[in-house]
Amino acid sequence: MGLGMQIVYLGFPGSSALEAEAGVQLLRLERFSGVLAGCHLAIERMHPLQPGSRQPAYDVRLDLVSTSRELAPLGHCEDDDPVAAMRAAFDAAERQLGSAVPAGAFSRSGAARRDH
């Protein structure tokens, strides 16, 4: 059984291309299926992209759900391109899980749990 993912689009209808890219990105986390049950992905359009704007148009949030059902929210990733923001979120998830897996699991705070 593979990892599960819930996707929510806020402020815009989303697209099949974004959903397909999210599926590709989820495959990157498959190697962590021993500690990861799935994730929640939120892609929010903050405002319309305007020339000269200094604020990113999209905010992506990724929450990891452990096999013990603990939730580990990751930091926000922002970009004018929702795909770039999504890739940054999954990059952060890989880093998080890479540091947590040798320790055995991750905590609610999103930090690796280390038993000394």
Cβ neighbours of 95 (radius 10 Å): 11
CATH (residue range 4-103): 3.30.160.100
Task: Tell me the three state secondary structure of residue 111.
Answer: coil
Whole-structure pTM over 0.85, yes or no? no
Residues 6+ apart with CB under 8 A from 113: 100, 103, 104, 105, 106, 107
pLDDT tens digits, one per residue of 19-42: 999 999 999 999 999 999 999 999
pLDDT tens digits, one per residue of 98-109: 886 555 555 544
Domain positions in the chain are 4-103
